[in-house]
Amino acid sequence: MAETKEKSLSDEKPKPRVRPIVRLGIFLISHSFLVSIVCCTAGVLALFLLPVLAKNTYISENALMPGSASPMLSNQHVSDGNRLVKDLTNPNSKSSETGIESHKIIAQYMLDLGAEVSFHKFHPQMNQFHPLHFFSSPVSGKIQENYSCSSYGINTVGIIRAPRGDGKEAIVLVTPYNALKSGFGEALSLGIAYSVFSLLTQVTWLAKDIIWLVADSQYGEYAAVAAWLREYQTPKFSSLSTPNAEMCPDVNNLFELKGHSISGSKFSNSFRRAGTMAAALVLKVRDQNEQFEDTISIYAEASNGQMPNLDLINVVNYLAVHRQGLRVNVEKLWPLLNSSWLKSLGEIFESLAKVAKSLYPKWKFGIPATEYVEGTATLASSLYYQALGVPTGPHGAFRDYQVDAITLEISPKFSLDKVWRNDILLRGGRLIEGVIRSVNNLLEKFHQSFFLYLLTSPSKFVSVGVYMIAFALLIAPLPMVAASLYVDANSSSNCSKGDSSTPSAITDTDEHGIAIRSWRWLNSAKLVFIVHLWGAIVSLLPYFISQIPDCSPTTSFMIWVLLSILSLLTLNSVLASPLACAKATQEKEWALVKSVTISSVFIGLGLMSVINFATAEIGALLMVPMCLLARPLKLDVRAGTLRSFCRLICNLVLGHIAFPPAAFFLLKGMLDGFGNANVGDFWMWVESLWAWNSATYLFIGMVQLPCWVLCVSILFHTC
């Protein structure tokens, strides 16, 4: 009964009822051209709207209570700090060729305060490309590979135990210091840290231990901090590492000497630890002072665009601005500040906001044009440094262990007279004290505020929920265009073959043909797969090239390019030259290739947006237009209309821009000027990317480069 009824129903309705979502999908796919234009425009527009949509930061964690306690740092502590600065800048202390003297001075000062002191000797670990542990955390075992006794650094570590604390948590204060050629700024930063440290030995309110790390920055600030952190986080229980220390007599000498001179004190030869780190502050004082105001710059970006919790930045910003009267800076892309088009864009937004406000007074989203330009410059730099995936300071080492950390760089106002020095010691010290006291109030890890955000000013941010919209709009057309291309390619070949036979009379052979045709995309998929495989090989090549000794960046780059081309040709020939044979069989083959390429790009961008949003965003800006516009040049030339001519030009321009080295040089040229561009720069840049384990490197090698090659192959497709 039911069957017959169903049959009759289906007879009445020749078209089975399609679910709305499917119908919507079909509608979008059939209008993919319009959809892609609208979405891409909206995506770019949304990106430029982000500074307008930025929200004011606020302190999300109740426990922090920054600024609720009045600073306790007094002039006494400042004069203590001043004493240390004087001792360190004293020419006598610099006489020693290894800089051990100044380390001793620092250690002695710490000991006098009653802190636990230890030296941490480390061997600088050259950043090397290890393809096998790309994403893995740094391994302690790697250190012992090759080092000599002559090259080592000494970190001085002082620990204050919280008098009534449980010793489970610690706050880290880092001051990079190069004992061999320290500027006055470094000494001053030590002075500030010391004045805070001397205060903290006296206070009763510590709940977390305080670790003061004087990082020996002669092999780089990051390396020293990273080495100390590695040691701190991965305790060695085996005795393998101990013989190494004994191999270098002068280090032992230093230890022994210290041990003898201060007997019965809290100095220890072994590595000292405190609890898990709640937060870390890296303090620097800039030597040159070109600012007309005391400013403090915050650097927050860690590897792969990871950011510390926004609350940490908020606390520093709040205390610096509202308590110590310092101006807070975050990085900006300075060239953008003077760009007139950005200014006019800002004015447009401003006037639009005015119109909106006049229509409905509650709409208040406009910001002044100058603020917009500044916001955009900050946002661009925020995006750029996150996309690069290279930490902007020693704080990046902490982020690898999920510790929230930022670098504070104080740029003092004017000359180095005594009054001014005391002032900067007092204000800097009180800022650090305030931040430490605030973090000390913390009961849990930083977790209340955002981890995924872009800053548009020190007190404004764009959260993930807002900036993802721009990205989502940008990549939304990709699957639709891919589907529509696939449908087109199939149906057009259908029609060309089977226009004689009506669809109702499908014979066996036709069915077979359709089956074959519907699997035809596999051919294109094979091509795309091969190109991606090639991309992976290209990404691995620098490892072997870097093994070649005495190679200048330029020659390395050249070798890389040559090897890449060679490997592409080899792969092409080995795997039956799919590009050549494809065009012979199908005239619409390029459409299928484009479809599969777009799909793979969509997947790649989607994955990358999870790993590092900023990279995905910039990559999408470059790749999405190129992918969507790609069309064989021959067809456009043949068509000869204005529209096809425009498309031809766009394709050529995009084809150049989207090539990773070209994009790099373009960006570099825009930022630094084209004068000093060098072919080797790209190699250096790539080297730095892999040295920092940046996922951007993988993205460029395995998503962007293959995509570019495929698009170029479509452009030059012979059909």
Partner 1 sequence: METFINPKSLFHLLLLPCLLLYSSIAYNSSPVEAAMHTNNWAVLVCTSRFWFNYRHMANTLSLYRTVKRLGIPDERIILMLADDMACNTRNKYPAQVFNNENHRLNLYGDNVEVDYRGYEVTVENFLRVLTGRHETAVPRSKRLLSDEGSHILLYMTGHGGDEFLKFQDSEELQSHDLADAVKQMKEKHRFKELLIMVDTCQAATLFNQLQSPGVLAIGSSMKGENSYSHHLDSDVGVSVVDRFTYYTLAFFERLNIYDNASLSSLFSSYNPSLLMSTAYYRKDLYKRRLEEVPVTNFFGSVMETIHTDAAYKALSRRNSGRFEDEMSLDQSVHHIKRRMLIKVNDGDEIHDINPELLQGEEGASKCPWSTFRNKFQKAENVDSLLNYGLVAMIPLLVISTWLVQ
Q: Site residues (CB under 8 A) for partner 1?
A: 62-63, 65, 68-70, 162-166, 203-207, 437, 440-441, 443
- Using DSSP's 3-state secondary structure scheme, residue 173 falls into strand
Nearer to partner 1, 204 or 502 (CB): 204
Q: DSSP strand E in 389-531: where?
A: 404-411, 453-457, 460-463
268 or 276, CB closer to partner 1? Answer: 276
Q: Which is nearer to partner 1, 63 or 611 (CB)?
A: 63
For partner 1, which is the closer residue by CB, 73 or 528?
A: 73
Nearer to partner 1, 69 or 575 (CB): 69
The CB-of-276 to partner 1 minimum distance in angstroms stands at 16
Minimum CB separation from partner 1 for residue 428, in Å? 20
Task: Output the smallest distance, CB 201 to partner 1, in A.
Answer: 15
Contact 212, 193 (CB under 8 A): yes
Rounded least distance, CB 440 to partner 1, Å: 6
Q: How far apart are CA 149 and CA 631, in angstroms?
A: 61
Q: How far is the CB of 448 from partner 1 (least distance, A)?
A: 12
Residue with smaller CB distance to partner 1, 200 or 397: 200
Q: Which residue has the tokens 């930083």?
A: 446
Residue appearing with tokens 């237009």: 625
- Read off the amino acid at residue 444: E
User: Which lies closer to partner 1 via its Cβ, residue 65 or residue 712?
Assistant: 65
For residue 112, give the amino acid letter: D
254 versus 436: smaller Cβ distance to partner 1: 436
Q: Which is nearer to partner 1, 257 or 443 (CB)?
A: 443
**251: Cβ contacts below 8 Å, ≥ 6 apart:** 121, 149, 152, 154, 245
Q: How far is the CB of 395 from partner 1 (least distance, A)?
A: 25
Structure tokens at 363: 């709409």
Q: Cα torsion for 288, 291, 294, 296, to the nearest 10°?
A: -70
Radius of gyration of the chain (CA): 31
- Assigned token pair, 317: 């910003």
| Distance separating alpha carbons of residues 569 and 714, to the nearest angstrom | 17
Q: Is 619 exposed, middle or buried (0-12, 13-18, 19+ CB in 10 A)?
A: buried
Q: Which is nearer to partner 1, 443 or 566 (CB)?
A: 443
Record the tokens describing residue 254, joined without a space.
């230093």
- Give CA–CA dist 114/108, Å, rounded: 10
Least distance from partner 1 to the Cβ atom of residue 314, Å: 16
Q: What minimum distance in Å lies between the beta carbon of 205 and partner 1?
A: 5
The residue among 395 and 437 lying less far from partner 1, judged by its C-beta, is 437
Residue 198 or 440 with smaller CB distance to partner 1: 440
Instruction: Dig out the tokens for 525 from the structure.
Output: 């998929």
Q: Among residues 440 and 556, whose Cβ is nearest to partner 1? A: 440
DSSP state of 550: S
Q: Is the sign of the CA dihedral 225, 230, 231, 232 positive or negative?
A: positive
Residues 17, 137: Cα–Cα separation, whole Å: 54
Tokens representing residue 325 in the block: 């009267």
Residue among 448 and 546 whose Cβ is closer to partner 1: 448
- DSSP secondary structure string for all residues of 93-119: GG-SSS-HHHHHHHHHHHHHTT-EEEE
Copy the structure tokens of residue 305: 């665009």
Angle between helix 369-388 and helix 32-53 axes, rounded to 10 deg: 110
CB 492 within 8 A of CB 41: no
User: Which residue, 203 or 452, has its beta carbon nearer to partner 1?
Assistant: 203
Q: Nearest approach, Cβ of 441 to partner 1 (angstroms)?
A: 6
CB 326, min distance to partner 1, A: 20
Q: Give the whole-angstrom CA distance, residue 210 versus residue 437.
A: 11
DSSP states along 450-486: -SSEEEEETTEEEEHHHHHHHHHHHHTHHHHHHHHHH
Token pair in block for residue 63: 């426990």
CB 57 within 8 A of CB 448: no
Instruction: Compute the least distance from the CB of residue 266 to partner 1, in Å.
Output: 21
CB of 157 to partner 1, least distance (A): 22
- Measured CA to CA, the distance from residue 321 to residue 328 in angstroms comes to 7
Strand partners, 211: 159, 172
The DSSP annotation for 604-634 comes to: HHHHHHHH-HHHHHHHHHHHHHHHHH---HH
Question: How far apart are CB 163 and partner 1 at their closest, in Å?
Answer: 8
* Shortest Å, Cβ 321 to partner 1: 18
C-alpha to C-alpha distances, 546 to 48, 52, 128, 701, 705, nearest whole angstrom? 40, 45, 9, 17, 20
Minimum separation from the CB atom of position 185 to partner 1 (A): 31
Q: 3-state class of 148 per DSSP? A: coil
